[in-house]
Chains A and B, each alone.
Chain A
Amino acid sequence: MKIVLDRPRCEGHGLCEEAAPQLMHLDDEGELVLDREDVDGADAALAKAAARVCPVAALRVA
Chain B
Amino acid sequence: MAATSLAGMTNPPTSDIDLFADEVVLDPYPVYAELREDGPVVHLRRNDVYALTRYDVIRGALADWESYSSTSIAFNPMANDALTGTSLASDPPVHTRLRATLTENLSPRALRGLQGRIEAKADALVAELVDKGSFEAIDALARAFPLEVVADLIGFRGHVRENMLRWGQAAMQVLGPMNQRTAENFPIAGELYGWCSEVTADDLEEGSVGRGIFDAEAQGAIPPNTAGHIIHQYLGAGVDTTVAAIGNVVALFGSHPDQLDLVRSDPSLVPGAFNEVLRFWAPVHAWGRRAVRDVEIDGAVVPAGAQIAILFGAGNRDPRHYENADTFLVERGPADHLSFGYGPHGCAGQGLARLEAHAVIEALSRRVKRLVVGPEVRVPSNITRSIEELPVLEVIPA
B107: Cβ under 8 A from any A Cβ: yes
Contact between A57 and B346, CB atoms less than 8 A apart: yes
CB distance from B100 to the nearest CB of A (A): 7
Residues of B bordering A, CB below 8 Å:
63, 96, 100, 103, 107-109, 112, 271, 335-336, 340, 342-344, 346-347, 350-351
CB distance from B189 to the nearest CB of A (A): 27
Contact between B336 and A52, CB atoms less than 8 A apart: yes
Question: For residues 43 through 62 of chain A, which have their beta carbon under 8 Å from a beta carbon of chain B?
Answer: 52-53, 55-57
Interface Cβ pair total, 8 Å cutoff = 45
**Distance in angstroms between the alpha carbons of A8 and B344 in the assembled complex:** 11
**Size of A's binding interface in residues, CB under 8 A:** 18
Contact between A57 and B107, CB atoms less than 8 A apart: no
**Distance in angstroms between the alpha carbons of A31 and B346 in the assembled complex:** 19
Using known A-B contacts A13-B351, A55-B342, A55-B346, determine if residue A30 contacts B335 with beta carbons closer than 8 Å. Answer: no
Residues on the B chain within 8 Å of A9, using CB? 344
Residues on the B chain within 8 Å of A11, using CB? 103, 107-109, 351
Could you give 9 example pairs across A and B, Cβ below 8 Å?
A: A8-B96, A11-B103, A11-B108, A12-B351, A13-B107, A13-B108, A18-B271, A26-B109, A53-B335
Residues on the B chain within 8 Å of A8, using CB? 96, 100
**Distance in angstroms between the alpha carbons of A14 and B107 in the assembled complex:** 11
User: B109 contacts which of A19, A31, A55, A57 (Cβ < 8 Å)?
Assistant: A31
Shortest beta-carbon contacts, A-B, top 5: A30-B109, A12-B109, A11-B107, A53-B335, A57-B343
Using known A-B contacts A52-B336, A57-B63, determine if residue A13 contacts B343 with beta carbons closer than 8 Å. Answer: no
Residues on the A chain within 8 Å of B344, using CB? 9, 56-57
Residues of A bordering B, CB below 8 Å:
8-9, 11-15, 18-19, 26, 29-31, 52-53, 55-57
Using known A-B contacts A55-B346, A57-B346, determine if residue A15 contacts B335 with beta carbons closer than 8 Å. Answer: yes
User: B108 contacts which of A14, A18, A19, A53 (Cβ < 8 Å)?
Assistant: A14
Contact between A57 and B108, CB atoms less than 8 A apart: no
CB distance from B397 to the nearest CB of A (A): 31
Residues on the B chain within 8 Å of A18, using CB? 271, 335
User: B336 contacts which of A12, A14, A31, A53 (Cβ < 8 Å)?
Assistant: A53
Contact between A56 and B108, CB atoms less than 8 A apart: no
CB distance from A32 to the nearest CB of B (A): 10
Using known A-B contacts A18-B271, A57-B343, determine if residue A13 contacts B350 with beta carbons closer than 8 Å. Answer: yes
User: A12 contacts which of B107, B335, B347 (Cβ < 8 Å)?
Assistant: B107
CB closest residue in chain B, given A15: B335
Contact between B347 and A55, CB atoms less than 8 A apart: yes
CB closest residue in chain B, given A52: B336
CB distance from A48 to the nearest CB of B (A): 12
Residues on the B chain within 8 Å of A29, using CB? 109
Q: Which of A8, A15, A52, A56 has the most CB of B within 10 A?
A: A56
Contact between B109 and A56, CB atoms less than 8 A apart: no
Residues on the B chain within 8 Å of A52, using CB? 336
CB distance from A24 to the nearest CB of B (A): 15
CB distance from A22 to the nearest CB of B (A): 17
**Distance in angstroms between the alpha carbons of A13 and B344 in the assembled complex:** 13
CB distance from A34 to the nearest CB of B (A): 16
Q: Which of B63, B335, B343 has the most CB of A within 10 A?
A: B335
CB distance from B312 to the nearest CB of A (A): 13
**Distance in angstroms between the alpha carbons of A18 and B333 in the assembled complex:** 12
CB distance from B331 to the nearest CB of A (A): 15
Contact between A57 and B342, CB atoms less than 8 A apart: yes
**Distance in angstroms between the alpha carbons of A55 and B63 in the assembled complex:** 10
CB distance from B184 to the nearest CB of A (A): 33
Residues on the A chain within 8 Å of B112, using CB? 30
Residues on the B chain within 8 Å of A19, using CB? 335
CB closest residue in chain A, given B103: A11
Contact between B350 and A55, CB atoms less than 8 A apart: yes
CB closest residue in chain B, given A13: B108
CB distance from B66 to the nearest CB of A (A): 13
